[in-house]
Amino acid sequence: MEKQRSNRFKRAVKIKREEEISLLFRYGQPWECHVCKIYYLKNGLKYNRYAIIVSKKTGAAVVRNRLKRAVRWLLGKTHDISPSQSHYNILINFRTDCATLKTRELKETLEKWHASLKK
């Protein structure tokens, strides 16, 4: 029997190429908070695409992977939901002092960003 993973990111939803990430840093619209800096740019597709960056200065690999896993889990629940008809390439760049964040705080941050898109 195969396990069903409804919140899993598909390969098409992940941004992996360095050129695409550089474009987001250069031309993306920034949104900042105490946890992270989010860059987003319209992509012309029918879905959002994501890149999650956590610096080595944040902590050991276990800490960095926990943050990325938590964000992917939160986004996996809502990544098909876009506040408008537009869909974006989204880069989430965590600050170095976010190692002790709880999933609840991450969720609140993503909700604030989502609300700012609706304006």
CATH code: domain of residue 74: 3.30.230.10
Would residue 6 count as lying in a domain?
no
Distance CA 54, CA 46 (A): 27
Does 24 map to a domain? yes
Query: Considering the domain boundaries, does residue 66 fall inside one?
Result: yes
Q: Which of 58, 54, 89, 85 lies closest to 68, judged by CA?
A: 54
Query: What integer best gives the mean pLDDT of the chain?
Result: 84
Digit-coded pLDDT (tens) for 36-53: 999 999 988 888 899 999
Tell me whether residue 18 is in a domain: yes
**pLDDT given for residue 110 in this prediction:** 86
Q: Is residue 1 part of a domain?
A: no
Domain that holds residue 91: 11-118
Nearest to 119 by CA among 29, 24, 13, 52: 29
With a pLDDT cut of 90, the percent of the chain lying above it is 38
Number of domains, the chain: 1
For 90, the 3-state DSSP assignment is strand
Distance in angstroms between the alpha carbons of the first and the last residue of the chain: 45
Count CB atoms within 10 A of the CB of residue 35.
20
4 found inside a domain: no
* Average confidence (pLDDT) over 46-61: 91
Q: What is the pTM of this model?
A: 0.82
DSSP state of 30: E
